[in-house]
Chain A
Amino acid sequence: MEQYEPDSLSAAQLAAMRRSLTNGRGALTRRSLLRASGVGALTVGGLASLSACGIPPAKREGEGPASTDYSAREKQLNFSNWTQYIDISDDEKHRPTLEAFTKRTGIQVKYTEDINDNVEFFGKIKPQLAAGQDTGRDLICVTDWLAARIIRLGWAQKLDPANLPHAYANLSAQFRRPDWDPGRAHSYPWTGISTVIAYNTKATGGRKVDSVTQLLDDPKLKGRVAFLSEMRDSVGMTLLDMGKDPGTFTDADFDAAVGRLQKGVATQQIRRFTGNDYTGDLNKGDLAACLAWAGDVIQLQADNPDIQFAIPAAGYITSSDNLLVPAKARHKTNAEKLIDYYYELPVAARLAAYINYVCPVEGVREELARIDPALASNTLILPDKAMAAKSRAFRSLSSEEETAYEEKFAKLIGA
């Protein structure tokens, strides 16, 4: 007991200490501690596992997604978007279009770049939405299939057309009638996305790569081809290449397309399935050719003249990232005002000029030409008739189909 400095402790304290450490039922031995915590854990565990009655259905019946709108009283808006998906000033301190919106309407926008991945973002907001709670977000931006799921589950608020005059008038015909949100009752596109083939001429030795068949079969590209880990892009492009329409395909078509990709994996033609990180690999030349999102390609081309893209003759997949107002959001009207604002032609042009994705706004060409004539004639930003004719959307899937297809695709990509 030397380490307790016996001089400074009273005899009673010492005795108590010795007693608690060494003898009697009060002694905290390892055994008694383990026993006590073991019994505790078992009781708690047993009770909890008995009372755990599963996860309730995600779809909320009875109560609608609508909530009290505090827009008039609280001039605020919480907007969650993807990273690098809005215009910023040269010194990277301002977001010009967003600040102009605040100036005009007095609505303070809290803009958060917290979406990196659709599946992860769904995992993040699901608990609150499933429990019928406010996610703290008034406006979110998600890709078609996730928007479809959120609407299907009744987790998106119906938009009021009266607040959306510009959006209603200026939305491109191509985006007007998705089968998962007829008439755009719940959603408006932020941007359109074209999935094309990109290649690095340095790595291909100057060859052009312009079809999925070539990606899968050209021996010169072996081990330097990537597909996207988004099922709808990779399978959709393969379906198109096989002469099937991704808007109407059957289970057998899906299996055939996955089978074709599987062969590419087995022969090591396909190097990997990538998310956004294909851009770095393509830029370095580790990837010779891959499926790519057009907006990324334009941004890559600005720095690297070797990057080229091709629209396959068989067609290409289009999708969009859509603005939704999640259930229980506090500022729906403010959110609608913002959506409408971004459908005003000058604002839409500034956004498109900055982020280079497909602009879903009709009649923006003149405004865009005023900013940069080259952008206005770029068919990846404003698709011309010939290009629009080749675009196809992946059809929306039922919950069962989605699970079954995602499972097959997960097996294909190794996990």
Chain B
Amino acid sequence: MTATLTAAEKTAAEPVVRTTATRKRLVPYWLLLPGVLWLLVFFALPMVYQASTSVQTGSLERGFEVTWHFSTYWEALADYWPQFVRSLLYAGTATVLCLILGYPLAYLIAFKAGRWRNLLLVLVIAPFFTSFLIRTLAWKTILADGGAVVGALDALRVLDVTTALGWTQGDRLLATPLAVVCGLTYNFLPFMILPLYTSLERIDGRLHEAAKDLYASPATTFRKVTFPLSMPGVVSGTLLTFIPASGDYVNAELLGSTDTKMVGNVIQSQFLRVLDYPTAAALSFILMAIVLIMVTVYIRRAGTEDLV
């Protein structure tokens, strides 16, 4: 059969096939072009620029030159490691708190809310209708020294415990680590609830019935069926909370004090106040690297490929 196919036929057919094939092959790339350009201009180029800045030395007056001064990284880490530790600690705590607070709520909305479901979802998103800054400033009123929250916690002797743990100072909440963590938790809670909800909502209710038929207690059902199936939501929720929270500086600035400053505050201060652009750029890259490593390890561990 192949022998009967003449050489003439082959050469006649091939060019046409090749051009259409090439065109077809390029189509997906053409479709990707806008996105790729966007990434290049607004992500890749700034990254390269910052990477270059981080190995420069100089001053505003004399200008900055690339001198491959890698020790900036080491110096930045040596000077500001407490702020790094603090950022990860606060962001981690806030993420765990978000999960604890958000999971039951997402579960309720997904399975028990009935006709209230849409209303509850709108309420979850409602805080986004005001600005991040206003929401954080509201917490200054909520946690004010003479306010009801401080009064109640003080009467219940909770503040004595938290002060002993170093989370608060004396009989106040504002300008303490606890206030910053509260602010972070509040501000990022919707980012936890929404992916959790999408994961939970997808679970087929018949699976719960099946578990019940097989004599699983509600706790076992949750442990063996619901929770594993909601893992994509848990993973993406924790990532969406932890990553921005670790770089946040607004909460630490407004609700915190000198000893609650996070690495975002240091970067801001180095960029704008001290005008030490290399250190600021190096700090940004160190933070990025730390978060990237932690997230990679976490995703490997959690083993969830299909993130929502």
CA separation between A16 and B28, bound complex, in Å? 13
Q: Known contacts A20-B24, A28-B28, A272-B257; decide if A55 and B275 are in contact (CB<8 Å).
A: no
CA separation between A56 and B145, bound complex, in Å? 49
Asked if A415 contacts B52 (CB within 8 A), the reply is: no
Q: For B24, give its contact among A19, A53, A400, A406 (CB under 8 Å).
A: A19
Smallest distance from the beta carbon of B286 to chain A beta carbons, Å? Answer: 15
Q: For A52, give its contact among B21, B49, B268 (CB under 8 Å).
A: B49
CA separation between A223 and B273, bound complex, in Å? 26
CA separation between A40 and B32, bound complex, in Å? 13
Smallest distance from the beta carbon of A219 to chain B beta carbons, Å? Answer: 12
Q: For A277, give its contact among B141, B169, B170, B254 (CB under 8 Å).
A: B254
Asked if B258 contacts A285 (CB within 8 A), the reply is: no
CA separation between A319 and B58, bound complex, in Å? 30
Asked if A55 contacts B144 (CB within 8 A), the reply is: no
Nearest A residue to B268 via CB reads A415
Smallest distance from the beta carbon of A87 to chain B beta carbons, Å? Answer: 27
Chain A 6-42: CB-based contact to B (< 8 A → 1; otherwise 0) = 0000000000100110001110100001001100110
Nearest A residue to B174 via CB reads A286
CA separation between A407 and B269, bound complex, in Å? 9
Smallest distance from the beta carbon of A205 to chain B beta carbons, Å? Answer: 14
Task: Tell yes or no: B140 within 8 A of A by CB.
Answer: yes
Asked if A286 contacts B59 (CB within 8 A), the reply is: no
Q: Which residues of B contact A400 (CB under 8 A)?
A: 59
How many residues of chain B have a CB within 8 Å of chain A?
A: 59
Asked if B49 contacts A119 (CB within 8 A), the reply is: no
Q: For A123, give its contact among B52, B257, B272, B274 (CB under 8 Å).
A: B272
Nearest B residue to A36 via CB reads B29
Asked if A284 contacts B146 (CB within 8 A), the reply is: yes
CA separation between A413 and B274, bound complex, in Å? 13
Q: Pick the interface stretch among B60-68, B102-110, B239-247.
A: B60-68
Q: Which residues of B contact A56 (CB under 8 A)?
A: 63
Task: Tell yes or no: B53 within 8 A of A by CB.
Answer: yes
Asked if B272 contacts A412 (CB within 8 A), the reply is: no
Asked if A413 contacts B146 (CB within 8 A), the reply is: no
Task: Tell yes or no: A120 within 8 A of B by CB.
Answer: yes
Centre residue among A19, A36, A48 by max chain B CB count within 10 A: A48
Task: Tell yes or no: B182 within 8 A of A by CB.
Answer: no
Chain B 277-288: CB-based contact to A (< 8 A → 1; otherwise 0) = 100000000000
Asked if B170 contacts A54 (CB within 8 A), the reply is: no
Nearest A residue to B64 via CB reads A55
Q: Which residues of A contact B40 (CB under 8 A)?
A: 44
CA separation between A244 and B298, bound complex, in Å? 55
Q: Which residues of A contact B49 (CB under 8 A)?
A: 48, 52
Task: Tell yes or no: B48 within 8 A of A by CB.
Answer: yes
Asked if B175 contacts A407 (CB within 8 A), the reply is: no
Asked if B169 contacts A268 (CB within 8 A), the reply is: yes
Task: Tell yes or no: A410 within 8 A of B by CB.
Answer: yes
CA separation between A67 and B51, bound complex, in Å? 35
Q: For B269, give its contact among A41, A58, A268, A410 (CB under 8 Å).
A: A410
CA separation between A6 and B119, bound complex, in Å? 40
CA separation between A152 and B261, bound complex, in Å? 32
Task: Tell yes or no: A250 within 8 A of B by CB.
Answer: no
Q: For A415, give its contact among B62, B65, B83, B277 (CB under 8 Å).
A: B83
Task: Tell yes or no: A271 within 8 A of B by CB.
Answer: yes
Chain A 378-415: CB-based contact to B (< 8 A → 1; otherwise 0) = 00000000000000000000011001001100101111
Task: Tell yes or no: B276 within 8 A of A by CB.
Answer: yes
Nearest B residue to A264 via CB reads B258
Smallest distance from the beta carbon of A79 to chain B beta carbons, Å? Answer: 23
Task: Tell yes or no: B256 within 8 A of A by CB.
Answer: yes
Q: Which residues of B contact A24 (CB under 8 A)?
A: 21, 25
Q: Known contacts A271-B175, A286-B145; decide if A399 and B256 are in contact (CB<8 Å).
A: no
Q: For B273, give its contact among A20, A280, A406 (CB under 8 Å).
A: A406
Q: Which residues of B contact A415 (CB under 8 A)?
A: 83, 261-262, 265-266, 268-269
CA separation between A213 and B28, bound complex, in Å? 70
Task: Tell yes or no: B113 within 8 A of A by CB.
Answer: no
Asked if A25 contacts B65 (CB within 8 A), the reply is: no
Asked if A403 contacts B44 (CB within 8 A), the reply is: no
Task: Tell yes or no: B95 within 8 A of A by CB.
Answer: no
Task: Tell yes or no: B36 within 8 A of A by CB.
Answer: yes
Q: Known contacts A20-B27, A286-B174, A399-B61; decide if A414 and B53 are in contact (CB<8 Å).
A: no
Q: For B44, give its contact among A25, A36, A45, A55 (CB under 8 Å).
A: A45
Asked if A403 contacts B276 (CB within 8 A), the reply is: yes
Asked if B272 contacts A122 (CB within 8 A), the reply is: yes
Smallest distance from the beta carbon of A238 to chain B beta carbons, Å? Answer: 15
Task: Tell yes or no: B259 within 8 A of A by CB.
Answer: yes
Asked if A55 contacts B27 (CB within 8 A), the reply is: no
Smallest distance from the beta carbon of A123 to chain B beta carbons, Å? Answer: 5
Task: Tell yes or no: B186 within 8 A of A by CB.
Answer: no
CA separation between A24 and B63, bound complex, in Å? 52
Asked if A153 contacts B24 (CB within 8 A), the reply is: no
Asked if B45 contacts A48 (CB within 8 A), the reply is: yes
Asked if B48 contacts A52 (CB within 8 A), the reply is: yes
CA separation between A230 and B24, bound complex, in Å? 61
Q: Which residues of A contact B265 (CB under 8 A)?
A: 414-415
Q: Which residues of B contact A120 (CB under 8 A)?
A: 272
Nearest B residue to A59 via CB reads B61
Smallest distance from the beta carbon of A13 to chain B beta carbons, Å? Answer: 10
Chain B 45-57: CB-based contact to A (< 8 A → 1; otherwise 0) = 1011101110010
What are 25 A-to-B residue pairs whose CB atoms are below 8 Å? A20-B25, A20-B27, A20-B28, A26-B24, A26-B25, A40-B36, A45-B47, A48-B48, A48-B52, A52-B52, A54-B64, A54-B65, A57-B63, A152-B61, A223-B169, A271-B257, A272-B256, A284-B141, A285-B146, A286-B146, A406-B274, A410-B270, A414-B258, A414-B259, A415-B268
Question: Which 6 A/B pairs are nearest by Cβ-Cβ distance?
Answer: A26-B25, A57-B63, A414-B258, A415-B265, A414-B261, A52-B52
Given contacts A222-B170, A284-B141, could you give 9 more A-B pairs where the C-beta distance is less than 8 Å?
Answer: A33-B32, A45-B47, A48-B48, A53-B66, A58-B61, A406-B273, A410-B266, A410-B269, A415-B266
- A residues engaging B (CB < 8 A)? 16, 19-20, 24-26, 28, 33, 36-37, 40-41, 44-45, 48-49, 52-59, 119-120, 122-123, 152-153, 222-224, 265, 268, 270-273, 277, 280-281, 284-286, 399-400, 403, 406-407, 410, 412-415
- B residues engaging A (CB < 8 A)? 20-21, 24-25, 27-29, 32, 36, 40, 44-45, 47-49, 51-53, 56, 58-66, 83, 140-141, 144-146, 169-170, 172, 174-175, 254, 256-262, 265-266, 268-277
